[in-house]
Structure 1
Amino acid sequence: MSNYQAPVGEYQFLASHLLAKEFQACASEEGSAQMLGTVLENLGRFVSERLLPLTDIADRQGCRVTAEGVKTPPGYRAAYEDFVADGWGALHTAVEDGGQGLGWPFGFACDELLSSGSMAFALYVSIRLGVYSVIKSIGCDYLRQTYLEKIGSGEWNASMCLTEPQSGTDLSLIRTTARVNEDGTYQLSGNKIFISGGDHDLTDNIVHLVLARIQGAAAGLSGLGLFIVPKFKAAADGRWSQANGVTCPRIEEKLGIHASATAELLFAGAQGWLVGQPGEGLPGMFAMMKLARIGTAFQAIGVAERAVQQATAYALERVQGRDLCGGRKGALPIAEHPNIRREIVRMRMLTASARMLAFTTTLVYEHSQNREDREASQRARLLLPVLMSTAKAICSEIGVDVTSAAMQTHGGHGYIRDTGIEVLLRDVQILPIYEGTNDVQSLDLVVRRLDDGRQQSVDGTLQWLRGQIAELPAVGEHRAHVPAVEALLGQIADVVQQLQNELKTTPFAALQCAREFLWLVGHGVIATLWLRVLAALDQPGLPIDPAAKRAEAQFYFAYQLPDAGLRVARLKASGAIQAALQSYPLHSR
């Protein structure tokens, strides 16, 4: 297994050069680009020294249900306790809650590094922060005083309880009920499944954020409420030791992330506290899911970064095959073969593309929370739904693609346990599925973001991208690629009109090609960012190798951008594709 190097320079390039304007607009005095580099450098050491040595045993042993609750693999609790003791848990929670207040760009960058070390460990760390955010934004004083500091520091962990056996995407089918008590609290009863970190031994308490139907409330989504339900509640002596009617009868046997306890939870008269007002459950849960979806993108980047580092190291060391180009005698390191070299550069380019897209989305999210500059906040809120869906879907698929390519680079050695690549490939497969499948993200873009009756988020995104291109320097290497990107943005605008018409006349045609449209929009964002990369490489004092980054940009425009043309062709042929799909006899085989 190769050594891991945290991509500190990549993030410093994003924060201080490529996206410096956007980063500085939302950074605090403490949260500088230099500080970001320092944080990631130190966290990189934690990943290398504490997480990577646990990889094999965590995957082999996984979690297990015992009479005392779910047990995580050996070494996990100690690593988590060190993580919290060193202050990493409170890195970007509010200062008034005992945190350091460094903001979400720091937090999501840390998610990447932790996911390179262990996606399962990163899940335990990240999910609680969404619960923290919900309590911080709409929780009452009691909930804030009781939970924020403990969850924010990592002393207590948290989970999001949404899915039920009969209710996945369709939340109107939720059956978990909440009956009000005389003291204003609620009794929750029901069954939740697929709960990441639903039960474990890393912390002494777990605070569940539960979506449930309030008895007596209106039918449908408006009758849902959001509740805080701790695993243990305060006993008469003040200690949080009294069981609260939350049990875990089983955990899922999964393809990957074995060290993450994906739990089934039973709530049997568990005491819960309403977060916000009755009927605000869904907006509160969606606010948390925004963070989870952005976090998914960074998890994928973390796995991809680790995979490409291992594949590159292996390709430089593995000697195999003759020189078919230069005629040199003897075997060569496989990195010198054209097809392997192409795959290494492709993996690097895709990982860098995903990181730029995800970090841009993070900065837009941060701007959307700006209460002082209302105009900037409104612009960001227009862009965020498009960027969030695009980043979640594209980055997760890039994670799978890059990790699969890393396995191919290793050949047969990648298919066996020794290199660790097969563990990464099993782990990364979940990312296109959870926090809203990529198909759901695509449908959201077509059904809700072309025109939701109030605003046209995709049109706003195209205008934003054109504005970035207009701000580029008048001369430079990037200028050669500007016409192609401008033409792409024009094609996206044409497709928007096509889809709007099809939604009115032949909705099947529009909906079956939603993923093609999501990728097309993603190409528009990524291509614009690569233009900015080429322009930024003329700046002095770069924290990266400019030759490597220039080669990645050139490769993107020559090799990857033509994929956008394929997406356009499929979208233009949506009627013919619809005819083929609807004429296919599904039940004949």
Structure 2
Amino acid sequence: MPDYKAPLRDIRFVLHELLDDSKLAELPGYADATPELVDSILDAAASFCEEQLVPLNRPGDETGSQLANGVVTTPPGFKEAYKAFAEGGWISLANDPDYGGQGLPKLVSFAVEEIICSANLSFGMFPGLSNGAYNAIALHGSPELKSFYLPKLTTGEWAGTMCLTEPQCGTDLGLVRTKAEPQPDGSFKITGNKIFISAGEHDLTDNILHLVLARLPDAPAGTRGISLFLVPKFLPKPDGSPGPRNALSCIAIEKKMGIHASPTCQMAFDGATGWLVGRPHKGMSAMFTMMNAARLGVGVQGLGIAEAAYQGARDYAKQRLQGRAPQGPQAPDKPADPIIVHSDIRRMLLTIRAKTEAARALALWVGKELDVSLKHPDPAAREAADDLVALLTPIVKAALTDLGFEAANLGMQVWGGHGYIRDNGMEQFSRDARITQIYEGTNGIQALDLVGRKLSLSMGRLLRRYFHPTAAFIEESMTDPALGEFVLPLAKCFARLQQATAFVAETGLKDPEAAAAVAPDYLKLFSYTVFATLWVRMAKIALAKQNGEEAEFYKAKLACARFYLERILPEHSAPFALVMAGKGALAGMPIEAF
């Protein structure tokens, strides 16, 4: 397996210099979250992941999780690593101190999640799902549910899942058939089958808390009739210890392309006891709490894969000897030059790196805004931050997972034939990354969410949270001659995004199918623009520091910025043209002709 070292200097550049995370300590509850503390947390996370999770990644892929007699066993070493992970407090970083959490900013949690996902994506899914369950219960559960279950999720003693999908419904959750029958004691009997349940059964924890979508007997049709229930694997005793087995079971685990160590389960609920989370028939709002957080988390998974693929490809390119550079031997003392001297190799490496660094900046920016939306004392500031998070969530999920798969494939290409060989570990990145473009809402669904909901919400209020500051930043930057080479490409792309936005908004009012037809291209255009915006901001910092301490670090930042703006950003012309072309040829083929 390619070696991985957490890119701490690059993460700190974004946290401390681009986002100025020191200001988070001014928010209520975050007084201890100083840059010094954040640095120590990152150091510890890097050590844990490099030493304990990376060595389990390839063996876990080879062995996978196994189902026998209803029991799922995770690969060797996972149980011990999970115990150390939980005891180290990594699950509780951003959880509420009232339930045993550390109360740290989401921003810090996002940075740590990237490192975990680079080190071992399958392992990272277990605590990631538990955090999703924690968030849903914390926001929508009764005081009794919160006080009883959240401490167990915080310590990692118990795990959580999301049980949405059924054989007949994936994206369209209005088709859910699972039933919930009220009981005299206030509980419910849950009956139905769920599929694609990540970590639905495993041996890492004493109990698993399933959050299940189901219908009450009087439920209206469609998504308006869905409720959310907490259904434990073992019914807890009054003292909080696991009691008798609930009437649920894992009947199969899927044989998948990737993430083999993460069991994807088919779950049967046969009159299992559960408790209502939130109000009756309002399960979708509670589930969206989990899904929105999960979509950001999946975006970070794509980022983690991209970084790991970059490191594996870069290290190989520096040591693999093949041919001579066009300009003459670069390693005359060796029989051939390292392949990194060749332009095509450098193109692939720079493509991964330039997009990955912009993706990291985007993910952490959204993490910071999420903290502001939760903690800022000014309601207007909270609303503005929440709007921006909502707008950027589908872009984070889609753009970063597309990047993860692209980076994995480019990284394998750098290795050539050796990248295609399983023993070398590069092809695993491609297999693991592919699911991120599918689950928690396919990337096509993210595009529809952006165009169908986020653009029109509150008369375009969400859009203004990005458009107005970006326009002001471009205007301000135009007066700086040193920034000219960076800001001019951004200004051109941003102008096209504005034009495309107006076109989509206008045509969508007349013909919703037309807006849906160009939604994926619009999201791509938006992501190119956001990445460019962040690169110009990073270039501005690097320009001011390129002749001081760490000069080489900042010069490398400028080189990446130039590559993105000169060699990648021009690609925005294609999705712009596709948006402006409308639905035309796409809608012209009769269904019968397919």
Query: Under a length normalisation based on structure 1, what TM-score does the superposition of the two structures give?
Result: 0.95
Identify the residue that residue 553 of structure 1 maps to in structure 2: 561
Where 1:324 maps in the other structure, the secondary structure is coil
Quote the Cα distance in structure 2 between the aligned partners of 1:218 and 1:207: 26
Quote the Cα distance in structure 2 between the aligned partners of 1:198 and 1:544: 47
The verdict on how the C-alpha distance between 1:476 and 1:130 changes in structure 2, with shifts beyond 3 A counting, is farther
Q: Is 1:140 the counterpart of 2:142 in the alignment?
A: yes
% of aligned pairs identical?
37
CA deviation string 1:180-236 (max 9, x = no partner): 111111111111111111110000100111111112133332221111111001248
Q: Which amino acid is 1:572 matched to?
A: M
Which deviates the most, 200-209 or 327-336?
Answer: 327-336
Q: Is 1:421 the counterpart of 2:426 in the alignment?
A: yes
- Note the C-alpha offset of 1:456: 3.7
Q: 5+ unaligned residues in a row in structure 2: which ranges? A: none
Q: Is 1:528 the counterpart of 2:533 in the alignment?
A: yes
Where 2:375 maps in the other structure, the secondary structure is coil
Which deviates the most, 10-19 or 477-486?
Answer: 477-486
The 5 Å alignment of 1:381-460 reads 381-452=386-457, 454-460=459-465
Where 1:30 maps in the other structure, the secondary structure is coil
Where 1:559 maps in the other structure, the secondary structure is helix
Which deviates the most, 564-573 or 279-288?
Answer: 564-573
- Note the C-alpha offset of 1:469: 3.7
Where 2:457 maps in the other structure, the secondary structure is coil
Q: Which amino acid is 1:416 matched to?
A: I
Quote the Cα distance in structure 2 between the aligned partners of 1:237 and 1:140: 19
CA deviation string 1:284-339 (max 9, x = no partner): 11011111000011111111111110111100000001222236665210001111
Quote the Cα distance in structure 2 between the aligned partners of 1:478 and 1:28: 35
CA deviation string 1:506-526 (max 9, x = no partner): 443332221110011112221
8 Å contact kept, 2:398–2:437: yes
The verdict on how the C-alpha distance between 1:236 and 1:149 changes in structure 2, with shifts beyond 3 A counting, is closer
- Note the C-alpha offset of 1:165: 0.8
Identify the residue that residue 508 of structure 1 maps to in structure 2: 513
Quote the Cα distance in structure 1 between the aligned partners of 2:241 and 2:362: 45
Quote the Cα distance in structure 2 between the aligned partners of 1:10 and 1:209: 37
Q: 5+ unaligned residues in a row in structure 1: which ranges? A: none
- Note the C-alpha offset of 1:22: 8.8
Identify the residue that residue 14 of structure 1 maps to in structure 2: 14
The verdict on how the C-alpha distance between 1:504 and 1:89 changes in structure 2, with shifts beyond 3 A counting, is closer
Identify the residue that residue 290 of structure 2 maps to in structure 1: 288
Q: Which amino acid is 2:581 matched to?
A: A
8 Å contact kept, 2:21–2:35: no
- Note the C-alpha offset of 1:452: 3.1
The 5 Å alignment of 1:357-396 reads 357-370=362-375, 372-396=377-401
Query: Which of these residues, 216, 220, 223, is aligned with residue 221 of structure 1?
Result: 223
8 Å contact kept, 1:187–1:270: yes
- Note the C-alpha offset of 1:473: 9.3
Quote the Cα distance in structure 2 between the aligned partners of 1:156 and 1:131: 11
Identify the residue that residue 187 of structure 1 maps to in structure 2: 189
Which deviates the most, 56-65 or 188-197?
Answer: 56-65
8 Å contact kept, 1:185–1:273: yes
Quote the Cα distance in structure 2 between the aligned partners of 1:160 and 1:237: 25
Identify the residue that residue 32 of structure 2 maps to in structure 1: 30
Query: Which of these residues, 101, 105, 108, is aligned with residue 106 of structure 1?
Result: 108
Which deviates the most, 144-153 or 22-31?
Answer: 22-31
Q: Is 1:496 the counterpart of 2:501 in the alignment?
A: yes
Identify the residue that residue 580 of structure 2 maps to in structure 1: 572
Which deviates the most, 368-377 or 510-519?
Answer: 368-377
CA deviation string 1:137-167 (max 9, x = no partner): 2211211111111101211110011111111
Quote the Cα distance in structure 1 between the aligned partners of 2:216 and 2:559: 57
Query: Which of these residues, 65, 75, 78, is aligned with residue 77 of structure 2?
Result: 75
Where 1:159 maps in the other structure, the secondary structure is strand
- Note the C-alpha offset of 1:468: 3.9
CA deviation string 1:60-112 (max 9, x = no partner): 11111122511111111011011111221222211121121112111121111
Quote the Cα distance in structure 2 between the aligned partners of 1:237 and 1:402: 49
Quote the Cα distance in structure 1 between the aligned partners of 2:156 and 2:478: 45
Which deviates the most, 276-285 or 324-333?
Answer: 324-333
Identify the residue that residue 124 of structure 2 maps to in structure 1: 122
- Note the C-alpha offset of 1:411: 0.3
Q: Which amino acid is 1:442 matched to?
A: A
Q: Which amino acid is 1:290 matched to?
A: N
Where 1:298 maps in the other structure, the secondary structure is helix
Where 2:435 maps in the other structure, the secondary structure is coil
8 Å contact kept, 1:10–1:544: no
Where 2:471 maps in the other structure, the secondary structure is helix
Q: Which amino acid is 2:533 matched to?
A: T
- Note the C-alpha offset of 1:35: 2.2
- Note the C-alpha offset of 1:238: 6.3
Identify the residue that residue 519 of structure 1 maps to in structure 2: 524
Where 2:269 maps in the other structure, the secondary structure is strand
Q: Which amino acid is 1:581 matched to?
A: L
- Note the C-alpha offset of 1:455: 4.2
The verdict on how the C-alpha distance between 1:473 and 1:45 changes in structure 2, with shifts beyond 3 A counting, is farther
Paired residues in the alignment total 586
Identify the residue that residue 316 of structure 2 maps to in structure 1: 314
Query: Under a length normalisation based on structure 2, what TM-score does the superposition of the two structures give?
Result: 0.94
- Note the C-alpha offset of 1:544: 8.2
Quote the Cα distance in structure 2 between the aligned partners of 1:147 and 1:428: 32
Q: Which amino acid is 1:115 matched to?
A: C
8 Å contact kept, 1:472–1:532: no
- Note the C-alpha offset of 1:247: 0.5
8 Å contact kept, 1:11–1:37: no
The 5 Å alignment of 1:224-263 reads 224-235=226-237, 239-263=241-265
Where 2:437 maps in the other structure, the secondary structure is coil
Quote the Cα distance in structure 2 between the aligned partners of 1:442 and 1:452: 15
Identify the residue that residue 49 of structure 1 maps to in structure 2: 51
The verdict on how the C-alpha distance between 1:306 and 1:396 changes in structure 2, with shifts beyond 3 A counting, is same
Q: Which amino acid is 1:126 matched to?
A: G
CA deviation string 1:400-441 (max 9, x = no partner): 111100000000000001220011110000011011100001
- Note the C-alpha offset of 1:458: 2.4
Quote the Cα distance in structure 2 between the aligned partners of 1:324 and 1:455: 52
8 Å contact kept, 1:12–1:543: no
Where 1:188 maps in the other structure, the secondary structure is strand
Identify the residue that residue 470 of structure 2 maps to in structure 1: 465
8 Å contact kept, 2:93–2:101: yes
Quote the Cα distance in structure 2 between the aligned partners of 1:160 and 1:141: 21
Q: Which amino acid is 2:7 matched to?
A: P
Query: Which of these residues, 322, 341, 352, is aligned with residue 357 of structure 2?
Result: 352
Quote the Cα distance in structure 2 between the aligned partners of 1:176 and 1:471: 56
Quote the Cα distance in structure 2 between the aligned partners of 1:470 and 1:35: 36
8 Å contact kept, 2:490–2:565: no
Quote the Cα distance in structure 1 between the aligned partners of 2:551 and 2:99: 34
Identify the residue that residue 484 of structure 2 maps to in structure 1: 479
Where 2:203 maps in the other structure, the secondary structure is coil
The verdict on how the C-alpha distance between 1:459 and 1:87 changes in structure 2, with shifts beyond 3 A counting, is closer
Quote the Cα distance in structure 2 between the aligned partners of 1:68 and 1:443: 39
Q: Which amino acid is 2:321 matched to?
A: V
8 Å contact kept, 1:187–1:269: yes
